[in-house]
Structure 1
Amino acid sequence: MYPSERLKGIDTFVQAADTGSFTAAAERLNLSNSAVSKSVARLEGRLGRRLFERTTRRLTLTDAGAAFYAICVRVLAELGEAEAVLAAYENEPVGRLKINVPVAYGHMQVMPLILQLAERYPQLMPDIRFTDRFVDLVEDNVDLAVRISATETWPEGLGRRYLGSERLIFCAAPQFIERHGRPSSIDELHRYDSVLYGRADGTTLPWRLPREGGTIERKPMDGRIVVGSAEAQVAAVKAGFGIAQLATWLIEAELQSGALVDVLPQSAVDGLPLHLVWPLSRQLVPKVDALITLLAERLRIA
């Protein structure tokens, strides 16, 4: 239950904090100075905390007032956005759209699509965060995320759409193959220098090796170079420092240009699954629905 009493005085309090004066707030709100002062006093009484330090010249927020102000500003902004969404529901997506994406995949695959959507809908305001860490969509107030992970269980209240799985190949630069030769099987890979992806916990991402019967062996490797960035890993492989197992979405341009070549085409394997994930409570909001539709269509892996 959210009684309407809790909303009383919030706009008056925010205006007083913004202007630093009951008089200036009263002018903005077309109220009397006394009405603004009494409204803030009632709010302080209800909360049991002083929100302002009062001097003859200016109002200053207390620590409690500053914390409450930050929350009130966010609440009023969300209410304004909700009204805008309802007003434009039959027209087009509008408002702030918070999106969480993996760093490399987000830059290379998702960002261009979001910019297309923003170009199509001028009143849409994307807020895009790039991170490879786990993000709680509800707690962090995220509208939609792209996940590349082996998650088997999903929290209640989240919608998701499976996009397919990464395709992993073993690749190297042509100059590396000229100097060192090409492996004839995955069992020869340990004889070659490799470029590995280093994780935050100090370990490296193991290679996924196909075995008889369709099983996959996850094998840690000893790499000549270890990097904690997918883009840097690609750069090291292109420079001829070794073989790497990389997702095809990451090296599409390099494969097309010949800067990298697939050294063991018969040993390609599926990698991690990709999903779109969003809070079910936001699924029918136009801006979220538009993004789900676009990304599901353009990011789907055949």
Structure 2
Amino acid sequence: MEIRNETTTVLVFTLEGFPGIQHLGKVLFAVNLLAYLASIIGNSLIIAITCTDQRLQTPMYFFLSSFSFCESCFISTVIPKLLSIFLLGQQTINFMLCFMQAFSFLFLGSTIFFLMAAMSLDRYLAICKPLHYPSLMNLRTCFLLIMACVAMGFTLMTALVVKVSQLSFCGPNVIPHFFCDLGPLIHLSCSDTRSIETLTFGLTSFILFTSLSITIIAYGNIVVTIMRLPSAKERRKAFSTCSSHLIVLFVMYGSCIFIYVKPKQGSRLASNREAALVNTVVTPLLNPVIYTLRNKQVHQALSDALSRVTLRK
């Protein structure tokens, strides 16, 4: 991705972080570091057991391991800088790194939303079309779907971030956020930003509502199918799994719609920080637990892996 901005006078941005609680920097550093490490370890475990256990090498877990990998990369674009702000007070970031962070965050975030839609489609086929599922959703199809998610996220976010990088930034240079997000960056520009704001609103709305619509349709059909199951025990089991997934969907979509789906990106910038913190710290911490660590197959795979390690010792 090539960034050109010949009229830029601002060479360094300052990330404001959370000025009201900056005096609690060391405590916040410890809390966020623990959350970050727990997320990375949880997602890494999911990837490791999916790759090593033959029972988990199915389309569902292939999607989940890809999702976990993207989640780990996603939080790693933001949390390390947040930790340095809390511990060392290092709030400056140069122009190029700022836009690289914005691109990485948005590219990985949009890819995750497309992946969630693909995962919902996978569950729909598994529950509603069980006889056709093996032929429709094989590993080749999964790979193509994941590549399509990555390609769409990369293409859409590259176009958007390059457009924003071509704006003029004449000062001030203080970003009222803890990372380089496009909304605060657009708000700092001294160019006419109306067309960029419209483009940002359009692209983010397209990504969020397209993936959300697919997810709602898929889970709507899943609920109808579950209600038709003859056994109350089977219905409870299926609803338990779906409800866990829907909690993650609600938190992720709710926080992102609150942040990005606003025609004027300059509004409510201060409150965006709290919503973004939920999306980058809390939700990635919950995902490994909700999506897989509550799953009996994953429990069994982890138990078997620990047994093999113990026997080797």
TM-score class, shorter-chain normalisation, is under 0.3
TM-score, normalisation: structure 1: 0.22
Q: Decide which structure has greater helix share.
A: 2
For CA contacts below 8 A with separation 6 or more, give which structure has more relative contact order.
2
